A and B are shown apart, each in its own frame.
Chain A
Amino acid sequence: DAKTTQPTSMDCAEGRAANLPCNHSTISGNEYVYWYRQIHSQGPQYIIHGLKNNETNEMASLIITEDRKSSTLILPHATLRDTAVYYCIVRVQAGTALIFGKGTTLSVSS
C-alpha cells in the first residue's frame, strides 16, 4: 500500500502557483519523497525528490516540513500543459520499485 495521502483533485488557474500537498506521516528517517506526474496515459515523468531540505529544479519546488510528515509540491506558474495526475511517493533506497497511490488530479484552466 502507498504510504502517502493526497487530495483526489485540485484546480488551478493558469499562471498561478499550484500547491499540491502530500501527507506521509509514517515516513522513516532514510526515506525520500519523490514526485512524479502522468499526463493523460503517457509514461510517468519524474519531477523532483528530497530528503529533508527544500529542493528546487527547473520544473518545481519541493517543501518538506521539519518533522518530514508532509510535503508540498509547488509549480510556480502553472500552464495548461501541467494538467496531469501528480503522484507523491516515499522510497527508502535506490534500486527499488515505485509504489504509486492514486495521486492528485490537477486541472489547470485558463
Chain B
Amino acid sequence: DSGVTQTPKHLITATGQRVTLRCSPRSGDLSVYWYQQSLDQGLQFLIQYYNGEERAKGNILERFSAQQFPDLHSELNLSSLELGDSALYFCASSARLAGGLDTQYFGPGTRLTVL
C-alpha cells in the first residue's frame, strides 16, 4: 500500500459526459501528479500540482482540468468525454520539489470506460 488513495476504482460513463476523479496524497506530501495510461499511448504525464498551485503541464487536453485543495487532495475533471479517453488514470504524490530527490508514490488508479 503506497498510502495514496484514488476514488472511484472504476467509472463507466457515456460520450459527452463529465466525470471527476479524486486523489488523496500520502500524509505530508505536497506534490500531486496525474498520469494517464491508455493501451496505445502508455503512461503519460498530465499535470502536476504543488501545495495548491499548478506546477507543470504535460499532455493534458483542454477538456481536462485539475485542482488541488487546501487539504491537499486533488481532483481531475474530464469533460466532453470521448471514446479515446477510456484509460487508467493514476495519481502520484511526493514530498518535495527541491533540496534532494523525491520519490513518487502511485495510487491504485481509476479505470475509466467511456461507452
Contacts and interface: CB of A to CB of B under 8 A. Distances in A.
Interface of A: 32, 38, 41-46, 49, 87, 93-102
13 contacts: A38-B43, A42-B108, A44-B106, A49-B101, A94-B98, A95-B50, A96-B56, A97-B48, A97-B58, A98-B45, A98-B104, A100-B44, A101-B42
B33 to A, nearest CB: 6
B55 A42 contact: no
Interface of B is mostly: strand
B31 interface: yes
Contacts of A99: 45
Interface of A is mostly: loop
Interface in B85-112: 88, 90, 92, 94, 96-109, 111
A46 B103 CA distance: 7
A94 B56 contact: no
B70 to A, nearest CB: 20
Interface residues of B, number: 34
A94 B97 contact: yes
Nearest to A49: B101
B90 A44 contact: yes
Given A94-B97, A94-B99, A95-B55, 11 more contacts: A32-B101, A41-B37, A41-B111, A43-B4, A44-B92, A44-B106, A93-B98, A94-B100, A95-B31, A95-B102, A98-B33
